[in-house]
Amino acid sequence: MKLIEGGVCAAKGYKANGIHCGIRKNRSKRDLALIVSEVSASAAAVYTTNLVKGAPLTVTKQNLADGRAQAVICNSGNANTCNANGIEIAMDMCALVEKSTGVSAKDVVVASTGVIGQVLDITPIANGMEELTAGLSENGSEAAAQAIMTTDTVKKEIAVEFTLGGKICRMGGIAKGSGMIHPNMATMLVFITTDAAISPEMLRKALSSDITNTFNMLSIDGDTSTNDMVTVLANGLAGNPEITCEGEDFTVFMQALNTLTVNLCRRIAGDGEGATKLLECIVSGSDDLETAKCCAKSVICSSLLKAAMFGADANWGRVLCALGYSGADVDVSKIGVSFHSCKGQIEVCRNGAGVPFSEEIAKQILLEKEIEILVTLGDGAYSACAWGCDLTYDYVKINGDYRT
């Protein structure tokens, strides 16, 4: 398993592109992305659990009912959510892909991200399709990654190479996500491509299993978006024997997928709106996995803890507070807390009580851009990890006038 370049175009048979078509006012911002596979691919997706869902999710779910897809189209700047004609617009986007590429409209994943409740005009998308399609390239992952960004400050893409059945396989992904992130399935928008051969059923199983320990353990601000979606396309061009059941090859495939998703989780968390620090809460010593996950997510979601991390304040009481209201059944008298960064590690709580520590050293540790919050619950065998960011003044500034 090794990291490689290429993002969603690293695997065989994929091309991508991203352009500015006019949805966003800033002409320097790309706002329309397209990813196309040479051949039909196994496909799987997970969607937001928010009852208010973007129209593209409804259309995508219909299109993926047969477990197949061949293209992805996504716009930024407008979420196409809570619009009377939203379904029609999403279907029109799929039809435009068919007209421009020959890929059936029913084999298109369609996605949108941006402001909720504003009508999405199909005109700029239609006008941009010729340029978008003409520019499809095996080097187009970066342009596509840029085109799906909203308040993101950096593009998010990654690819890995691995071996299945003696064949070299590749998997790559791009993601967008910076705010309104507290998923109960996935997060914001993530598009993953691979040339590995795997059945739609096993692909769904892999994705559904992975997100419980990755994207569902990510939180920026406690808000579950209406447009969250993660999709995976697997076109089989690597030539490995198709994965149709669990076994050694499925395990390797899961490892590759997890490498991508953990990396993207960290990048999204580190690029949270207004964030200055990536926070990672690692809970160990739990008697069961669900308790560990519940505790880690509760700590990473604490607004008070996030604010303390922004101020480099080793206020460990806020960690215990978050554990206490998490709903998990923990023995408070066994809890330990430490803070860690590249500047070192400092213990601040042992057996549920404070221990003497240097505030100066703690501050130096917490001034770094990546902070680990280490929590021990006892001597159990289970652990879990959750990702988030600090809460800064800029978060309010960004969201105070986001729509206008």
**For residues 283 and 167, what is the distance between their CA atoms, to the nearest angstrom?**
37
DSSP state, 312?
Answer: T
**For residues 165 and 238, what is the distance between their CA atoms, to the nearest angstrom?**
10
Residue type, 70: Q
Residue type, 350: R
**Exposed e or buried b per residue across 142-168, where buried means at least 16 C-beta atoms within 10 angstroms of its C-beta:** bbbbbbbbbbbeebbbbbbbbebbeee
Phi and psi angles of residue 91, each rounded to the nearest 5 degrees, phi first: -70, -35
Pairing of strands 167-176, 189-194: antiparallel
Phi and psi angles of residue 86, each rounded to the nearest 5 degrees, phi first: -60, -45
**For residues 4 and 158, what is the distance between their CA atoms, to the nearest angstrom?**
8
Active site residue 187: yes
Contact 35, 10 (CB under 8 A): no
For the record, the structure tokens of 57 come out as 């999710």
126, with CB counted inside 10 A (0-12, 13-18, 19+), is: middle
For the record, the structure tokens of 43 come out as 């496909």
Of the candidates 187, 231, 261, 376, the residue annotated as catalytic is 187
Residue 353 CB coordination number (10 Å): 11
**Exposed e or buried b per residue across 195-228, where buried means at least 16 C-beta atoms within 10 angstroms of its C-beta:** bbbbbbebbbbbbeebbebbbbbbbbbeebbbbb
**For residues 169 and 238, what is the distance between their CA atoms, to the nearest angstrom?**
6
For the record, the structure tokens of 154 come out as 């950096």
CA 301 to chain centre: 16
Q: Which residues pair with 173 in a beta bridge?
A: 158, 192
**For residues 90 and 32, what is the distance between their CA atoms, to the nearest angstrom?**
13
* Residues belonging to the active site: 187
